[in-house]
Homo-oligomer: A and B are copies of this chain.
Amino acid sequence: MKNQVNRDIPAEFLKEYQPFETTEIGNPIIQRSAPKVRAVTLGDDKLVNSVEEVIKKSGLKDGMTISFHHHFREGDYVFNHVMKVIKEMGFKDLTLAPSSLTNVMNDRVVECIKQGVITSITTSGMRGSLGEFVSRGGMKNPVILRSHGNRARAIEAGDIKIDVAFLGVPNADAYGNANAIYGKAVFGSLGYAKIDAQYADKVVLLTDTLVPYPNTPISIPQTQVDYVVKIDEIGDPEKIGAGATRFTKDPKELKIAQTVNQVIVNSPYFKNGFSFQTGTGGAALAVTRYLKEDMKEQNIKASFALGGITKPTVDLLNEGLVEKILDVQDFDKGAALGMAQNQNQQEIDASFYADPHNKGAVVNQLDIVILSALEIDTKFNVNVMTGSDGVLRGAIGGHQDAANAKMTIISAPIVRGRIPTVVKDVTTVITPGASVDVLVTEVGIAINPNRQDLVELFKQTKIPVFPIEELQARAEKIVGVPEPLVFTDRVVALVEYRDGTLIDVVKEIK
């Protein structure tokens, strides 16, 4: 059958899944899941000497589900360390359920899949050698791709049941109180990991910095932690923000950033107390810079900035242009260090950020979000997952979630090199067009026709507005029509919408 975004969902998946229907979540009533907890009693010692020993103590068995967070991003040492030991201990048939997978983990994951250690994966995304491997049919079971909010939802609902969570933290006391704002490999918010700590049956902390009891502030509390292991190094703090903080000098990106800013400041949302999420990447940082000037000039302050946080956003906080930062993840060292210095940079967990089935995530309160796209089609559907070669090379991240904002802006050039960005149909639908409002490109903007209010509004500005079909035609004129991708019938990945319905599938590339 075809779902509401016209994607063919093979019948075999409709046993377990509802097809995607709408971006409107409504008010479902959800019986929450809860962990099975082994009481830690007077005199018990949580400190364990080695990763191998802690794996034994954790009760890990073949067929179980394990999790990790990706807060270290490309500086992660914990994942490879733990998975190496798990592999060597001979475990089989594990489900890997990290908050996401970064490049530094790729080779270990591929190796573990090949040896049958890992047979199922749910993640926000994958890239590089792992993306290639999976896209070329390397796994028997399809990978399940979930947004950050959807992962929190799935864990809270019991769709993902984590048996053992292995969580790297820059500091912890011997009883398991941890935060990520002090230590050697500081990464700021523990937003994704907090959910694992709360819901996993067994929680193992790995740290290179043991501190005296009681450790505060408490991001992960002792009440959720079974074991603490000291290892030599948990991560490379320099690589946590690798690439993310580059400020673009590309004239096309700067042009787009300027236009994004124009869209924001001309929108009805740009007023005292507005809120925004800018995300990462060169254009996003440039937007923050332009926005800052307009906020200063017009004496407008934001009530909060949301999302993955970068140093320029922390600067806005410290300069008083933003009242609060709600911080689920830090994209660079400056943002990570900021949390220790300003209490108004408030750590939040992934459920608070974006779970559509809790009692109200922040994304419900968000005015403006700027998101990226690998592709966007004439229905405003966005692909941030598969490349022009059909291979997995991205992550949903908070894309579907933050698109809940009152004004969702996609910032993208119409082409990248010889590859069109604005297309007739995206290869993979990640975020449905229904939640996308404005596309900003280097030649001008396109407004989703379901936002006639914005269509009328931007007629009165100098911003060049085009039907999205025209932007697509322009892209086609520049790069021609690419050869259609050839896939087999085999499904290598399932893309869930944030409410757990099936929005698309990714097929094996020929």
Where the two chains meet, the residues of A that have a C-beta atom closer than 8 Å to any C-beta of B are 24-44, 46, 156, 175-176, 203, 212-214, 216-218, 221-226, 273, 303-304, 323-324, 326, 343-344, 346, 348, 351-352, 355-362, 364-365, 404
- Secondary structure of the A side of the interface? loop
Residues of B within 8 A of A224 (CB): 358-359
Contact between A218 and B346, CB atoms less than 8 A apart: yes
CA gap between A365 and B344 in the complex, in Å: 31
Also in contact, A355 and B303, with CB within 8 A (given A27-B38, A36-B32, A42-B364): no
State which of B32, B39, B216, B358 has its C-beta within 8 Å of the C-beta of A30.
B39
Contact between A223 and B39, CB atoms less than 8 A apart: no
Contact between B212 and A273, CB atoms less than 8 A apart: yes
Also in contact, A40 and B214, with CB within 8 A (given A222-B359, A223-B359): no
Copies in the complex: 2
The 6 A-B residue pairs whose C-beta atoms are closest, nearest first, are A32-B34, A40-B360, A34-B34, A223-B358, A216-B346, A25-B41
Also in contact, A37 and B222, with CB within 8 A (given A216-B343, A217-B346, A404-B42): no
Contact between B37 and A34, CB atoms less than 8 A apart: no
Contact between B358 and A37, CB atoms less than 8 A apart: yes
Contact between B42 and A359, CB atoms less than 8 A apart: no
Contact between A29 and B25, CB atoms less than 8 A apart: no
State which of B29, B30, B222, B346 has its C-beta within 8 Å of the C-beta of A214.
B346
Contact between B214 and A41, CB atoms less than 8 A apart: no
Contact between B39 and A225, CB atoms less than 8 A apart: no
CA gap between A383 and B2 in the complex, in Å: 69
State which of B29, B31, B223 has its C-beta within 8 Å of the C-beta of A360.
B223
CA gap between A302 and B41 in the complex, in Å: 23
Contact between B37 and A359, CB atoms less than 8 A apart: yes
CA gap between A273 and B43 in the complex, in Å: 17
A-B contact pairs, 28 of them (CB 8 A): A24-B42, A25-B39, A27-B38, A27-B40, A27-B41, A29-B36, A30-B36, A30-B38, A31-B36, A37-B358, A39-B358, A39-B359, A40-B364, A175-B360, A213-B365, A214-B324, A214-B362, A216-B324, A216-B343, A216-B344, A218-B346, A218-B348, A222-B352, A222-B359, A222-B362, A223-B351, A223-B360, A343-B343
